[in-house]
Amino acid sequence: MFKTLTLLAALALPGAAIACPTAPLTPRAQAELPRDGSQDRSLFSLALAHYVNVERCANDLPPIAAIPALNAAADAHSRDMARLDFFDHMSPVAGRETLVDRLRATGVSLSLVAENLGQTFMVDYQTGRQYSIVDAAQCAFSYGPDTDLMARRTYDSAAQALVAGWMDSPPHRRNLLDPKITRHGAGFAVTQPDTLCGRIVATQVLIQ
């Protein structure tokens, strides 16, 4: 499931030199995502920016940069969604009801802002397939007795899955490929492990 929001239209910027991401992600991005809230949001944001920039490069667009203050705002919204069991751009949390509310406290200058929301499971599950529970406490699931366990999500694989999902959704794709966007922040939280070890609830904030 994915949701998108775009606010505050702005004029297009002059063209800029395009630097495509050529270096691989740091090996740390292959670490499994933690379920206890101890995630490295900077690493997640960099992994997400990497795959966004792969798509932007393929479309002759300049890369975006990850901004720590935006990571914090995105991370807080993801934690609120996971904790309060909602999935929306509007939040019931006082002072953080709207995207603009959440960004106002960052001190980052704003003109055009957008927000992408996404969800994926903590394991690499293929939607619609039947699966077996091997050991739910250890996030161990398979598609049957003669198959390997589903891979646990890493910073790398989660970012790749989220960007792929957004690129398949026209409103999200427009946000990712907006030539006016230059910076982003991202965060995630994990819901209760009721199904497939829980859902990753991700927030991406994009600004000019």
Determine which of 9-18, 98-107, 164-173 has the lowest per-residue pLDDT on average.
9-18
Contact 66, 53 (CB under 8 A): no
Tokens for 131, please give them: 């699966």
Cα–Cα dist 88/3, whole Å: 7
Show me where the domains of the chain are located: 34-207
Whole-structure pTM value: 0.86
**What residue spans of 127-169 are helical by DSSP H?**
155-167
Q: What is the pLDDT of residues 132-171, one digit of tens each?
A: 999 999 999 999 888 999 999 999 999 999 999 999 999 9
Amino acid letter for position 189? A
CATH code at 34-207: 3.40.33.10
DSSP secondary structure letter of residue 6: E
Cα–Cα dist 26/24, whole Å: 6
Could you count the other beta carbons within 10 Å of the beta carbon of residue 112? Answer: 17
